[in-house]
Structure 1
Amino acid sequence: MTALSLPDIAAQTSVQAQPTLDFVGMQQIALPVLFDGKPLDCRVDAGVSLDDAGARGIHMSRLYLALEALEQRELTLSAVQNVLRQFLASHEGLSRRAWFELRGELLLKRPALVSPLAGWKGYPLALAASLDDAGLHVELRLTLGYSSTCPCSAALARQLIQQQFVEDFAGKPLDHADVLAWIGSSSGILATPHSQRSEARLQLRLDPALETLPVRRLLDAAEAALGTALQTAVKRADEQAFALANGQNLMFCEDAARRLHQALRQQNGVQGFALEVIHAESLHAHDAVAHSRWDGQP
């Protein structure tokens, strides 16, 4: 019996003109890569445009196989660009644009504030890249958590403590030991400001000529600007240091957004950004948010 060739339905053409398509491809492809030499389990979306109005479809298996070039290898922009070029080369005549988006969670070991302890903290990230006639376009998205203490709440708490001090010591001679005991008592420090776990979401347009992805540098710069990054393993000394940092680092969501804006403007390789901060209010049932962006202009 003569072997028949396998049918290729996607290669069929239509005599009638059909609409072109902006994106055709796949989502949620599992792909292990390396970042800073450490494994990163990711999900990838990959696709190309379908610019040939007469073509019925693309060759998705060619996109899938091209991703093997990133498997278990260091994630770099040059490697991503090579994959996108392969997407287009394998669809010559069909496509003029190629897309790639990778999502995962980067685990970094972070030291405690005072003690020798350390623990792992997860940072969700996404790397999106596209290639067309204008060149390579790269966007990095990062999410990081921090603590924020409300300045208004802190001022109100201080006022209550002042009032209580006046009531407790009115007409009495101030004795050092009595004042010290009062400060350390719950009846003295009867009010505390409210803090909340907060989150910053960064959307960064990167210079496509970067040799390496500056993820760690950008996270470090953002956490330094905010001043009260979430902690991992702690002892009581670390918890006390964290309380001190929060007390000396009062900020509204507006303050956090402005700090991040200024810090990101100073980062090499960042050509523009949009950011969002979310303070998950402990006073209200709603969140406080602030947005900022920079288009790369001086």
Structure 2
Amino acid sequence: MNALNLPDIAVQASRQALPLEWVGMCGIALPVLFDGQPVSAKADAGVSLDDGNARGIHMSRLYLALEMLEQDNLKPALLRRVLQRFLDSHEGLSHSAYLKIHAELMLKRPALISPLSGWKTYPVSVEARLKNAMFHVELKIDLPYSSTCPCSAALARQLIQQQFVDDFANQSLNHADVLAWLGSTQGIVATPHSQRSNAQLNIRLHDFVDDLPLLAVINEAEAALGTAVQTAVKRADEQAFALANGQNLMFCEDAARRLNLALKGSPGISAFQIRVVHAESLHAHDAVAESRWNWEAA
């Protein structure tokens, strides 16, 4: 059969004239390039259907336009070109185009002390929108880290102090005995609880940004938190991590404030919202804090 004679149902008039805000596809598998490295990703692509009389859009045109993402590093300019292709291929039907890319960014991270290193994945999303010539890009990043509860640490210290009083009451202190006591379970009778924690960053970029600052944001956020989870470690690294946690006590409120200050000082960011989740080891529920900056006005 001649392809020119195949029916195109999408061009037929809708039986119910009504515009739609978003029509497209979700979960499209494709490779994208981050700093020259191919990354397996899933894309959500769509446009508005502003012509309420049209039956539908041409989804295959959106799919084919995504091939542009295979050829160049993922940057705002490339995202804008893809969105413009969406609109050009739907002239008269659509005025808004949307693209969201989900991926896991793999970064090799060094150990704290030893020469070891290992790979860590960071779930990221890049969301771009083009509407009436206005272009916006947002980044979403998930960061795992460790947090030690300040309240639990204080209560543990109090128990250790009380045990010291009980064990050395009415005794003259001997340096060797105290040193041995400090290294024993008899002396250190309690330890504070730590928990696997997660920071969810949602960042809106300035229009003038040329690159996607994923690595810069990850590094700044991990530096602000101070206790990013580790990969390959030796005992020296584990001890250094224990020291970092002990010197870095924080509630979820502390973590949210640290991230707020760090992101405000990061160039290229026009707005953000933060959500931190401390998966409690004491409770069956989580401790959560949120913070935002310029989000409503953006």
Q: TM-score, normalised by structure 1?
A: 0.97
Matched letter for residue 206 of structure 1:
L
Q: Report the identity percentage.
A: 65
In structure 1, what is the Cα distance between the partners aligned to 2:56 and 2:176?
83
Q: Provide the residue aligned with 1:185 in structure 2.
A: 184
Residue 245 of structure 1: SS of its match in structure 2?
Answer: helix
Q: How far 1:73 moved relative to its partner?
A: 2.9
In structure 2, what is the Cα distance between the partners aligned to 1:268 and 1:4?
52
In structure 1, what is the Cα distance between the partners aligned to 2:133 and 2:80?
13
Q: Provide the residue aligned with 2:136 in structure 1.
A: 137
> Is contact 2:148-2:195 (8 Å) kept?
yes
Q: How far 1:17 moved relative to its partner?
A: 5.8
In structure 2, what is the Cα distance between the partners aligned to 1:158 and 1:206?
44
Q: Provide the residue aligned with 1:159 in structure 2.
A: 158
Residue 51 of structure 2: SS of its match in structure 1?
Answer: coil
Matched letter for residue 123 of structure 1:
Y
Matched letter for residue 56 of structure 1:
R
- 1:1-298 matches, cutoff 5 A: 5-14=5-14, 18-295=17-294
Q: How far 1:4 moved relative to its partner?
A: 6.5
Matched letter for residue 11 of structure 1:
V
> Is contact 2:72-2:78 (8 Å) kept?
no
Q: How far 1:34 moved relative to its partner?
A: 1.0
Aligned length: 296
Q: How far 1:11 moved relative to its partner?
A: 1.1
Q: TM-score, normalised by structure 2?
A: 0.97
> Is contact 1:39-1:72 (8 Å) kept?
no
CA 1:65 to 1:229, structure 2 compared with 1: closer, same or farther past 3 Å? same
**Structure 2 unaligned regions, length at least 5:** none
Between 1:71-80 and 1:286-295, the stretch displaced more is 71-80
Residue 185 of structure 1: SS of its match in structure 2?
Answer: coil
> Is contact 1:32-1:72 (8 Å) kept?
no
Q: How far 1:3 moved relative to its partner?
A: 8.2
In structure 1, what is the Cα distance between the partners aligned to 2:133 and 2:3?
45
In structure 1, what is the Cα distance between the partners aligned to 2:157 and 2:131?
58
Deviations 1:172-220 (A, max 9, x none): 1111111100000110011100000000000001113211110000000
Q: How far 1:13 moved relative to its partner?
A: 2.2
Residue 271 of structure 1: SS of its match in structure 2?
Answer: strand
CA 1:2 to 1:248, structure 2 compared with 1: closer, same or farther past 3 Å? closer
Matched letter for residue 135 of structure 2:
L
**Structure 1 unaligned regions, length at least 5:** none
Residue 154 of structure 1: SS of its match in structure 2?
Answer: helix
Deviations 1:205-246 (A, max 9, x none): 111321111000000000000000000000000000000000
In structure 2, what is the Cα distance between the partners aligned to 1:178 and 1:235?
30
CA RMSD of aligned residues (A): 1.4
Between 1:206-215 and 1:124-133, the stretch displaced more is 206-215
- Structure 1 stretches of 4+ with a deviation exceeding 4 A read 1-4
> Is contact 1:203-1:274 (8 Å) kept?
yes
